[in-house]
Structure formats: C-alpha cells, structure tokens
Structure 1
Amino acid sequence: MVGGLFAFALCTCLLVQRPFRGLSAEHFCELQKPNMTENGLGHRERVLNVDTMNPNVKRIEYAVRGPIVQRAVQIEKELKEGVKKPFTEVIKANIGDAHAMGQKPITFFRQVIALCAYPDLLEDDKFPEDAKNRARRILQACGGGSLGAYSASSGIEVIRQDVAKYIEKRDSGIPSNPDDIYLSTGASDAIVTMLKLLTSGEGKTRTGVMISIPQYPLYSAALAELAAVQISYYLDEDKCWSLDVNELRRAVKAAREHCNPRALCIINPGNPTGQVQNRQCIEDVIRFAAEEHLFLMADEVYQDNVYMEGCQFHSFKKVLFEMGSEYSSVVELASFHSTSKCYMGECGFRGGYMEVINMDPDVKLQLTKLVSVQLCPSIPGQALLDLVVNPPQPDEPSYATFIKERTANLHILSEKAKMTEQVLNTVPGIHCNPVQGAMYTFPRLTLPEKAINAAKEQEQAPDMFYCMKLLEEMGICLVPGSGFGQRDGTYHFRMTILPATEKLKIVLEKIREFHKRFTEEFS
C-alpha cells in the first residue's frame, strides 16, 4: 500500500514537470508502466529494434569485413589469452591495407604532414626545405593556418587546382577544371555521393546501376542502402576477367523490364579481379554508355598499380576526349581516385577526389549542397592528396628519395603479383588468372561434391565453408568469392598480394598445404 502511494506521488510530481497537460496522474502512470512478460519481469520495447530499423540497412552485406574477419579477430584474442592453435598468428590477406601489411610510408609525405600538424617543426633543421615549403603552402590555404579548421565543402581550392593540373598532365594535356573537382573522404565517400544523386523512382522506375560481377562490395552495399536496383554484368574469367560489351547489352536489356538503368560502374584496374582493361574495351564501354544514355562512373583508384607487360592504364576521361566531341560533349562521367592505394597505401588518411564531366549545372549545385551537409572532407586527407598529385620535382632535394621509395613499392608489388599467380597455379584444383594490376587475386576453386554438401548442411556458401576452415586450421584470413559475386556453380576466394614477401610466401604455402588436405578429406 505504501509502495503504491509512493509511486502515485512520484508520477504526480513527474506530471507537473512534463508537458502532459490534460492527462490524469493515473493515466500518466499507466503510460509509464513497462509491458509485463510471462515471467513477470518488466520489459519496455525499444524505440529502435531490428523490426523498426531502416530495412535497407539490414540488406547491406560487406564481405571484406564480414564473418571471416570477425572470427579472425576472435582467434587473435584467443591466441593472446594462451589458447593453443595449430599456428601462432593470424595472417590477414583479406583487405587492401598496405601499411597494416608492413609497407613503409613515403618519407616526403609524412614529413610534410608532420610539419602541417605541428608547425613548430618548421624551425627544425632535420626537415628538407622543399617539405617545409610545401607545408607552408598547404597551411596558408587552411583557415587560420591550421589543419584543424574546416575547408570549403568541395575541398581546399589550392588542392583542387593541384588535382586539376595532375589530371591534365596524366591525360596528355586534356584540360581539367578545378570547379569540376570535389575532394572527398576517400574515393568511397565520393562514389556513394554520386549514387545518392542518381537514385530515384519507385517500382519499375527505380534507378538501376550496372556493376561488375565480381564486384567490390561497396557498390552492392550502397545500392542496398539507397534501395536502388543492382544490375549485374559478368566479367569473363576465361579471358582474364575481361569486359565484353555484349554482356553489358544483355544485362541492360534484361534490367529494363523491372527498373530504369541510369548508371554504369567500372573498376579499372579491377578489384577483386586484378585485370587491366585495354583501350579498345574502354572505347566500347563509352560508346555503350552513349547509346544507352547511361551515367558513367569510373573507379580508377589503382591507376598506378599495373604490373603485367603489355598492360597500360588508360583513364576513361582521356579516352573519352580522344574519341572526339561526338562523345566528349555528351557522355556524363564521374571518375574517382584515392590516396589509399597505388604506391602510397595511405588508407587511414581518407583522402580522395572525383572529377565530374558534362554534369548538368543545376545538378552540380545540388551536388555541392549534398557534400556541404558533411561540412568538408578530412583536412589531413586533403593535405596528403595534395602531395600525391604534386610530389617532389626533379630540382628539389626530396626528389631522389621519393622516386626511390615509389619505384621500390611498385616493384615489390609487381614481384608479389607474379609470385602469387605462379604459386597458386601449381596447386591442383586452384586456377589463378594473371594479376595484371591492382592489389588482389581472385582464384577459382574446384571443390569436391562432398565439401559442397557439407557447406549446405551448415547453411554456408561452399567458398565460405572453405575459407572458414582455412582460417581455423591454418590462421590465414581470406574472403570467399561469394561475398563479391560470381557465376553460379563457381567458387573463388579473394586475397591481397600486400603481405611482406616472406609472409606472402607463408600464406601461399599454407594455402597449398590446406587445399591438398581439404580435397583429400572431402574426396
């Protein structure tokens, strides 16, 4: 009785303090009562639960940091706690994170970033004068002379000018306008921003976006979040993951029956497949985009990562303009680059840019508004991007060291690309296409029927089953091909070539040993 009176008094006091005028104290107390469960314990349903949350978020899958990686992290903790395993460390070859795999940063880049972050170091004689000059130039372009200040939403103007000059030099003098450059928090942020602009409609009018299969899961995840339609087109594994325009035509024709195809995404050099598209292929893609009235998105973040003799990176913009005004005046193009890959591998700084070509001026205003919602990209990331597009010049003191480090990083990657292909192709049941570029290989697995059935019993994709056993038994963390998309009835895994050479040899030898044992076990 006393408890009931106290609760009533408490509710009455609360009623005075809350904006529930017109409610009796009894009614207010009823509203505050928790729902009663069968065991008599109180339970108040949360406002946000899996039934009330955004359903599009639940549709998102991101294999690169999916269940395999989560289990790898658990195993690392178990090893630290003294749990005995058949191995002493987990080697993660699941993600393109160069510095995490042991690649050393470019000295000049880190010197300038250090000077920008702590300008007192400008008085230190240990830093070369060209690094100091570059730091002063960047800081002068920052609000208050500090990396801690916001920039314009599209990025620091001086850096956008440097990006435009870089593109002009890369593309043999084809003009680039700084007003068409938007700096971003890595290339991923810019890609998602463009997809937001493109997405509209309902039912059969919903935006369809063409993405390659295999694909980088950023694209499928972003399309799921935006409730857009994924239009899959398949790369030709038997022709070194080449792109056939006839496959594009098949895919877009089928898609028009249930959505409105509006964009075509290309990753070149390829992730996860490591191919480099030739010039003829790029011309065919541009013609196709013009014919089908599609917005073209060119993900070119691996443009310096080309290893195979006879292969060459061609930017979509350069090819577009060299095809003449028939195409260069009408095809809408957004191309993307990043500080995270190539020879620098500076993933954590989250620096990137996109260049937009032939964008409607009114849409461009909306793009500027959209990026302004996030205020601005990371300022340290912008500063690092400036160094990537405007590195030391031949007459500067840091040039020799810069060229030596850049060349060494790319040479080592080239050697590891060749080694990966050669070793994997000695394993019966694994076929690996040449790693022409980028940082990955996507080998095809031949799995015994018994293993496929065992995977189904565990409600797992067969290549997920394979990769999970590889992790548990050998401590090697790869990503199953099913997380990237693949033709029905085929199985793959993606691995990065980034581990240090000696560690990569261990990874490849363990895969060889495991695959032989796995095949024997399930034969």
Structure 2
Amino acid sequence: MWPKSCLRNSQPVEDLELTKRRFGRAFWVVMNISWAISGTECELQKPNMTENGLGNRVLNMDTMNPNVKRVEYAVRGPIVQRALQIEKELKEGVEKPFTEVIKANIGDAHAMGQKPITFLRQVVALCVYPDLLEDDKFPEDAKSRARRILQACGGGSIGAYSASPGIEIIRQDVAKYIEKRDGGIPSDPDSIYLSTGASDAIVTMLKLLTSGEGKNRTGVMISIPQYPLYSAALAELAAVQISYYLDEDKCWSLDVNELRRAVKAAREHCNPRALCIINPGNPTGQVQSRQCIEDVIRFAAEEHLFLMADEVYQDNVYAEGCQFHSFKKVLFEMGPEYSSVVELVSFHSTSKCFMGECGFRGGYMEVVNMDPEVKLQLTKLVSVRLCPPIPGQALLDLVVNPPQPDEPSYATFIKERTANLDILAEKAKMTEQVLNTVPGIHCNPVQGAMYTFPRLSLPEKAINAAKEKGQAPDMFYCMKLLEETGICLVPGSGFGQRDGTYHFRMTILPATEKLKVVLEKIREFHKRFTEEFS
C-alpha cells in the first residue's frame, strides 16, 4: 500500500493506486517533483524504476554474474541471429537476391542433409518403443543390442535415470573400444564418464581445474584459432585464457616453441595449469603428426600441465599421409617416464565423425593419472546433473560397439559409414581447390574435421568501412556476404587470429551440389566485394 504521507494533500490510497497504474513512470516523475518542492518524506523507499516501467528487479545487468557478460560464442552469434531474421523475412515474402539461407556456420551434419546411419537409429527406436521388438522389420542384431541396453536401465526403460557417470555396461563398452583403438593399451571403465556431448565434459573438467585469485588464478592454454566453447567457459569461470598460435603458413601446425613462449609470458600474471589440444582441429582442420603429439606430451610433463585432448573428430581424417593418433596411445607408448605422471583427459562425441548425431548429445571422457581423491570430487560434480541423456548414452554404445562381420547389419553399416566419410573427404578437397582459385582467398588443405578456415585479403577501404561500423573487418565481410547471398559463415575474429589477419570458418557439410553453389557464390561475392572497396 502507498502511505498517505507520500502525498502532500493526503490523497486517498485507492486514488493513488489508480493514478500510479494509469500514468506509470510519469507518476514517479510528478511525485519526485512534489517531494522535492514540499520536502515531504515518504515512509516507504521509492522503487528504482527500470526503462520499461517495472520495479527494481533482483536480477538485472548490474547484479547478474559479471563473468556471464564476458561470455561470447561466435558459432551462434550475431551473424546467425541475423540469418534467422532473414529466414523469417523470406517466409513473409520479403524480396531478397536469394531464395534460401544456407547455414554453413556450424558442424550440424544432419541439418545439412546427411542421412542417419540405419543401425544406430534402429536400435535407438527399439529402445524408445520396446513394442517394436516384436516387429520382423528389425534385424536381430539391432534387437539384441536394444534388449541389452534396456536390461541395463532402471525398470527396463530409457526413461529412467542412470548412474551419474553413465550406464555401467556402456562404460565397459567404451573402455573396450578405447583398448581396441589404441592397440591393446588397457582402459578402466571406472575412468570413463559419459556426458551430454563432449562440451559438457570439457566444461566439467575446466570447473575442476579452476581456482585461485589474482596472479594465482588458473590459466588454461588454448590454441588460436580456437573453438569458442573454450574461451566462453574460461570467461564464465573467471579463469585466464592463455593463447598460443597455430602456424597458418605450415598448415596450422603446432610449434612447441610457441607453447613455451605462451606459458612463459602467462606465468607473469596467472598460474598455468592446463593445456587444451583439439585434434583434428576445429576450426582449422589440421591433423597433428605423431611427432607433434610426443612433443606436446613432453612439454606438458616439463611444465607440469594437465592435458585436455579434444578428439571428437578422430574418424574425420581425409588428407593423404595424415593419420589420427590418440594422445593416450602416444602417451603410453612413450613409456612410464611419461605414462605414469602426465595427467590426461580425452573427449569423444556422437555429434561428429560418420554419425553426426548432434541432437542426441552423447559423449564421454576418459581420465588418466587423476588423483583418486579428485576423481571422487569429479564423480560428485557429475552427480549434480543426475546423469547424461539415456538416448544419447544408448547411441554412444552403438558407436563404440557397432555391428560385427558375422551380424546381419554389418554390410549396410559399413557401406553407410564409408559413404559418409568418403563424401566428406571429397568435399574437403573440393573446398580447398575452389577457394584457392579466388584471388584474395588462401585456403590450407582440409586434412580433417569438418571445416575450413581460409585467410582473406581485404582492401584497406573495406577495413576502414568496418571500423566506421564498429565491426571487425571479417565480421563486416561475413555480414555483407549473408545479406547479399544468404550464405551464413562465421568470421575468424570469433575464433581468434593473429592481428592484421582476417578469416572465416565454413563447414564442408552441405550436400555436394549445394556446397558447389556455396563456393561459387563466395567466389562471385569476393570479386564484387574487392571491386567495391578497391
């Protein structure tokens, strides 16, 4: 209620409430003038009104977590928001010089038209609707996988929670998969944690690692260019980002001397504790050599750093002479001098590779040489979120435990798996070749993963025009590309790049014919853009 003493003439409270509702913010302007003139004191504190006329909120831009305001995620940033607006405009009949928006900004394979692997979807369908187990249309090996997964679920239903680290038999299957992948190096199911995609596991580990204040704040080394998940998570956790640069002139290779430079400079203002590696690379598409991985492991041991190996693209290797080597395999092959001391966590996901099942949010991490007491804390931390999605866990089990040669689904599975990877390899090569025919664009070989990160040569006039708009030059370029062609890319500034260089990240996932259209539109646009700003 509003006390009578708030009005000089003791206007009835009911009238005051009516006046307040009718005139909103203007009411307070009048009251402030009245109080100032009369000197009357109000018994209640006047609310601090916001611009929309509502009262003082508990949560506002001044009181919210300041770390959240520093978070940026370019992959779904301003370019993508504008792309969504343009899609709405097209539906509303607004005329554009194109008929559709092509989103080449994110590694979402199925959104770009990739077909699901039949066996994976069959088993998940059986798990979701067990009555289908009586349907003769499903092969017996799919049914047996579904029965096994359902028997491991509470109440025989994927609608039940699982243990926080994940369903036991699936963690066992992941451990067997890792052992087979790494040539027999043992893997302990108790060191496997299933997760909501790899992203959730990465953020969980960064939470464990982050501590300290001032110069003792945790520093985490990440590559530049980097996947924005890392910089966003570090900002949210108030940790220190330690940038090390990949060598673009050597196909985005990693130089240990650059790691040494970065960690030495960082020790002046933080406590470096972890080194993140993405292999194969995102957004740069490079595949690290075995020698490079050995050098990184030695560096981590020398500098006493926790290694985080993001290996979600491990099946996506295309270039001749390139091969995926897991950090764990190389670590153990280097002998006890390293394998008994270097702390490592590696990540994998169902979202990439030949599966592309992003929406299921399946993934895992394996920890090596983790302090047993810290491991208990990790288990406690993952338990706060109860458990990863059970359909995602089921899908992950099929990735690590696929059909075998003596099973009825094997031939189709291998055919579909091979086709998906072969098509990606063709598109990787085509993307590199076409972009390198465009004067002013330089594209390194796409050795692996699902992206290219070409360098742009931009006219000085365009750079100045971008500055006038308060935009990074490659943001200016990508926004203009979107408005004129409907192609949605992500500016290199959203991933980090050396000063004075400009890039964009583009996925190679669109269907082959559509990718040809995208590349041709980029070629034509770049020519027009260069002429306009020359």
Q: Deviations over 1:403-446 (max 9, x none)?
A: 00000000000000000000000000000000000000000000
Q: How far off is 1:34 after superposition?
A: 3.8
Return 5+ residue gaps in structure 1 as ranges: 1-17
Q: Deviations over 1:17-49 (max 9, x none)?
A: x999x999999x954864469999977xx1111
Q: Deviations over 1:170-219 (max 9, x none)?
A: 00000000000000000000000000000000000000000000000000
Counterparts of 1:354 and 1:215, CA distance in 2 = 20
Task: Tell me which of 38, 42, 59 is aligned to 2:70.
Answer: 59
Counterparts of 2:340 and 2:446, CA distance in 1 = 35
Q: Tell whether 2:85 aligns with 1:85.
A: no
Q: Deviations over 1:80-126 (max 9, x none)?
A: 00000000000000000000000000000000000000000000000
203 and 517 in structure 1: CA distance in 2 versus 1, 3 angstrom threshold: same
Counterparts of 1:491 and 1:215, CA distance in 2 = 14
Q: How far off is 1:297 after superposition?
A: 0.1
SS at match of 1:305: coil
25 and 379 in structure 1: CA distance in 2 versus 1, 3 angstrom threshold: farther
519 and 33 in structure 1: CA distance in 2 versus 1, 3 angstrom threshold: same
TM-score under structure 1 length normalisation:
0.93
162 and 79 in structure 1: CA distance in 2 versus 1, 3 angstrom threshold: same
Q: How far off is 1:312 after superposition?
A: 0.1
Counterparts of 1:178 and 1:42, CA distance in 2 = 53
515 and 126 in structure 1: CA distance in 2 versus 1, 3 angstrom threshold: same
Q: Tell whether 2:47 aligns with 1:38.
A: no
Counterparts of 1:25 and 1:144, CA distance in 2 = 71
42 and 115 in structure 1: CA distance in 2 versus 1, 3 angstrom threshold: closer
Counterparts of 2:284 and 2:52, CA distance in 1 = 55
Counterparts of 2:37 and 2:374, CA distance in 1 = 50
Q: How far off is 1:69 after superposition?
A: 0.2
352 and 26 in structure 1: CA distance in 2 versus 1, 3 angstrom threshold: farther
Return 5+ residue gaps in structure 2 as ranges: 1-24, 28-35
Q: Percent identity?
A: 92
Counterparts of 1:378 and 1:41, CA distance in 2 = 39
193 and 86 in structure 1: CA distance in 2 versus 1, 3 angstrom threshold: same
Counterparts of 2:53 and 2:110, CA distance in 1 = 54
Q: Deviations over 1:323-342 (max 9, x none)?
A: 00000000000000000000
Q: How far off is 1:265 after superposition?
A: 0.1
Counterparts of 2:150 and 2:384, CA distance in 1 = 24
Counterparts of 2:61 and 2:123, CA distance in 1 = 46
Counterparts of 2:51 and 2:462, CA distance in 1 = 44
Counterparts of 1:56 and 1:39, CA distance in 2 = 25
SS at match of 1:492: strand
Counterparts of 2:125 and 2:485, CA distance in 1 = 40
Task: Tell me which of 33, 40, 49 is aligned to 1:26.
Answer: 40
Q: Which runs of 4+ in 1 moved over 6 A?
A: 22-27, 36-43
91 and 19 in structure 1: CA distance in 2 versus 1, 3 angstrom threshold: closer
Structure 2 equivalent of residue 217 of structure 1: 228
SS at match of 1:438: coil
Q: How far off is 1:295 after superposition?
A: 0.1
SS at match of 2:123: helix
SS at match of 1:375: coil
Counterparts of 1:507 and 1:372, CA distance in 2 = 44
468 and 175 in structure 1: CA distance in 2 versus 1, 3 angstrom threshold: same
How do 1:142-153 and structure 2 match up within 5 A?
142-153=153-164
Q: Tell whether 2:405 aligns with 1:369.
A: no
SS at match of 1:275: coil
Task: Tell me which of 103, 121, 130 is aligned to 1:110.
Answer: 121
19 and 492 in structure 1: CA distance in 2 versus 1, 3 angstrom threshold: closer
Counterparts of 1:143 and 1:39, CA distance in 2 = 49
394 and 32 in structure 1: CA distance in 2 versus 1, 3 angstrom threshold: farther
377 and 39 in structure 1: CA distance in 2 versus 1, 3 angstrom threshold: closer
Counterparts of 1:290 and 1:63, CA distance in 2 = 33
37 and 468 in structure 1: CA distance in 2 versus 1, 3 angstrom threshold: closer
- Size of the aligned set, in residue pairs, is 502
Q: Deviations over 1:122-157 (max 9, x none)?
A: 000000000000000000000000000000000000
Q: How far off is 1:283 after superposition?
A: 0.1
35 and 180 in structure 1: CA distance in 2 versus 1, 3 angstrom threshold: closer
SS at match of 1:232: strand
Counterparts of 2:192 and 2:96, CA distance in 1 = 51
SS at match of 2:159: coil
SS at match of 2:26: coil
Counterparts of 2:60 and 2:484, CA distance in 1 = 36
Counterparts of 2:173 and 2:244, CA distance in 1 = 36
Counterparts of 1:31 and 1:259, CA distance in 2 = 48
Structure 2 equivalent of residue 5 of structure 1: none
SS at match of 2:44: helix
Counterparts of 2:322 and 2:228, CA distance in 1 = 25
362 and 80 in structure 1: CA distance in 2 versus 1, 3 angstrom threshold: same
19 and 483 in structure 1: CA distance in 2 versus 1, 3 angstrom threshold: closer
SS at match of 1:211: strand
38 and 194 in structure 1: CA distance in 2 versus 1, 3 angstrom threshold: closer
25 and 162 in structure 1: CA distance in 2 versus 1, 3 angstrom threshold: farther
181 and 40 in structure 1: CA distance in 2 versus 1, 3 angstrom threshold: closer
Counterparts of 2:507 and 2:477, CA distance in 1 = 17
Counterparts of 1:314 and 1:274, CA distance in 2 = 15
SS at match of 1:23: helix
RMSD: 3.4
Q: Deviations over 1:248-304 (max 9, x none)?
A: 000000000000000000000000000000000000000000000000000000000
Counterparts of 1:381 and 1:42, CA distance in 2 = 43
